[in-house]
Chains A and B, each alone.
Chain A
Amino acid sequence: MRRSALISLALVPALLAPIAPAAVAAPAQVVVADAWVKASSFSDHTGGMTGVFMKITNKTKRAITLLTGTSSIAGMVETHQVVDGVMSKTARGIKLMPGKTVTLEPGGLHVMLMGLKKPILAGTKVDLTLKFAGANPLVIKPMLAKTAAAGEETYDPGMSH
């Protein structure tokens, strides 16, 4: 059959491989999918900041808390929330209930990269390791930075956490 022919549905999982959730050391305690970073005028310069978004699933039978993280591109990593359009640091990380998925998205919960050491532009790849209470650190596959209009929140450069 010619190579451009329709692929069978059976091949689909294989094709999805490059964008599948990041691999973690077995047994997976936390699984992250569809992670991305927002590229904006707040992130396009050294010293800037931006949000990281993802679907994050607790695969264990006990509660886990996402506390912080490290990234070679950021001086500081925090967990944030947006309440009534105002962003602030969460008091006690981000709680992940057993077996449940939490969606970090614009206008809601997110991981904040602050004190950027390099600009983050559309298409920039960003590394991130998440740190938890109740689970091992998780190295996420390099994430893509994208411009996105959704959940436009004000990143007040002078905000205090």
Chain B
Amino acid sequence: MVTRRQILLGGLATAGAAGGVLAANGAAAAQAYREGFAAAELKSQTKVAKQKSSFNGSHQAGIEQRAQAHANFIGLEIGSKITKDDMLRWMVLLTDDITRLCNGEPVLADPEPDLMIGAANLTVTVGFGPALFKKLGLESKVPEGFAELPGFKIDQLRDEFTGGDVLIQLGADDLLILSHATRALLRDSEPFGTVRWQQAGFTNAVGSNPEGKTQRNLMGQVDGTDNPEFGSKNFANQVWITGGPAWAIGGTQLALRRIQMNLPTWDMLGRNDKEEVIGRHLDTGAPLGQKNEFDPINFDAKKENGLQVIPPFAHIRRAAAKRPGEQFFRRPFNYQVVGAKPGELDSGLLWTAYAADLTKQYLPVQQRLADFDLLNKWTTPIGSAVFAIARGFEPGQVLAEELFS
């Protein structure tokens, strides 16, 4: 099928290829048109693979940008003999790999280079867990507010999704490209550590949702509305570290929580009940009592019967900042894997908080929700890990060099 847009693109390409419309004769013009059309069509068919995300700069990629269609979070544990010098060599390898992969190129010595047909917006984000700083005697380089999380009474954490010395977070809009990039990074990480866990997440495919539209999670909720806007001062204040050890200035801190959803019991709720659990409408994502997703939340509004429009138990009431600074950036991915029993699906969120200081910004909110949030009835944290994310790197710089030299 040929769309009007493709015809337009074809026409433009022809004009370019023929250096104007002054083709020598009619047959040549027709041929030039066909070639231009085919080139434009091919370009349009491979446009997802051809997209690249910028990956150099003061911040690492994969945070202040739309969640890609697919993500892999990988937690590694370093070998018992690994030194700071070894870590630096690992970072040299990762830096080279990231540079090539995010350009849509195979890594050096890629055994299957033909698989790397583009970047598909690939991003790679690298961070370090609290245990790593202890193992390598780097306690003086721990950013302020970064520490192992306390246990919460809602937690049912499993070892296979918890902890880790090094995080490699990958996102891409093509699963095959993501898988190939993941394998490349893991192959080059082998001399330094072992994979403790690997967690795969997803959102909608590119082209399924309008650009910039907030994603839905597997409970059907619009999830990610009340987030700082990309490129805003607000975002920078909430997310990027501005002081302390140099390697982390421009970096951030990540709390990654694997939160299982009990969808069979959630499905049984009526639509009104579901909306009250969160405090937002399911269709628009608007706060209860409002029309549009980004309308301000009125926590004081009362119904005629005197009850609060947004109930006391509602997730957004409990989660909203009670004191200045209790805010952070969420960039969740859905997960779904075949469960232990036949016919059972294990569904949930790879829930993320990115904050300049997890202790100040995230911990009080998490504590409040652990104490009381009706949503807990259908959700269970089964994995948990925190990582300090290094600042970004410029061309020629090595990722996290200041931490390990």
Q: Decide if B135 is an interface residue (CB 8 Å cutoff).
A: no
Distance A16 CA – B105 CA, assembled complex (angstroms): 10
- Is A97 part of the binding interface, using a Cβ–Cβ cutoff of 8 Å? no
- A6 near B51 with CB under 8 A, answer yes
Which residues of B have CB within 8 Å of A89?
Answer: none
Given A12-B103, A34-B108, A122-B191: A3 and B57 interface contact (C-beta under 8 Å): yes
Among B51-81, those with CB < 8 Å from A are 51-54, 56-57, 59, 61, 63-65
Measured between beta carbons, the chain A residues less than 8 angstroms from B63 are 4
A1 proximity list for chain B (CB < 8 A): 231
Residues in chain A near residue B230, CB distance under 8 A = 2, 4
Interface flag for B395 (CB, 8 Å): yes
Instruction: Flag B119-140 by CB within 8 Å of A: 1 or 0 each.
Output: 0010000000000000000000
Interface contact A3-B54, CB-CB below 8 Å: yes
Nearest chain A CB to B225 CB, angstrom units: 18
Measured CB to CB, the nearest residue on chain A to B232 is: A2
**Which residues does chain B contribute within 8 Å of A9, judged by CB atoms?**
50, 52
Check if A4 sits within 8 Å of B64, measured CB to CB. Answer: yes
Whether B96 and A144, one on each chain, are in contact in the complex, defined by CB atoms closer than 8 angstroms, is yes
Q: Specify which of A12, A18, A36, A53 lies most central, judged by the most chain B CB atoms within 10 Å of its CB.
A: A18
A121 engages B89 (CB within 8 Å): yes
Selected from B91, B109, B121, the residue in CB contact (under 8 A) with A150 is B109
A5, A12, A16, A144, most chain B CB atoms within 10 A: A144
Contact residues in A for B324 (Cβ distance below 8 Å):
none
Q: Which of A4, A5, A16, A144 contacts B93 (CB 8 A)?
A: A144
- A122 contact from B56, B64, B105, B188, Cβ within 8 A: B188
Is A26 in contact with chain B by the CB < 8 A criterion? no
Alpha-carbon separation in the docked complex, A12 to B230 (Å): 23
CA distance A15 to B190 in the complex (A): 27
| With A146-B108, A150-B111 as contacts: A4 and B92 at CB distance below 8 Å | no
A-B contact pairs, 27 of them (CB 8 A): A3-B54, A3-B57, A3-B231, A4-B54, A4-B65, A5-B54, A6-B53, A7-B54, A15-B52, A15-B103, A16-B103, A17-B395, A19-B100, A34-B108, A36-B108, A36-B109, A53-B109, A121-B89, A121-B191, A123-B88, A123-B91, A146-B108, A146-B188, A147-B187, A147-B191, A148-B111, A150-B111
3 closest Cβ pairs, A-B complex = A123-B89, A2-B231, A4-B65
Please list the residues of chain B having a beta carbon within 8 angstroms of any beta carbon in chain A.
50-54, 56-57, 59, 61, 63-65, 86, 88-93, 96, 99-100, 103, 105, 108-109, 111, 121, 187-188, 190-192, 230-231, 395-396
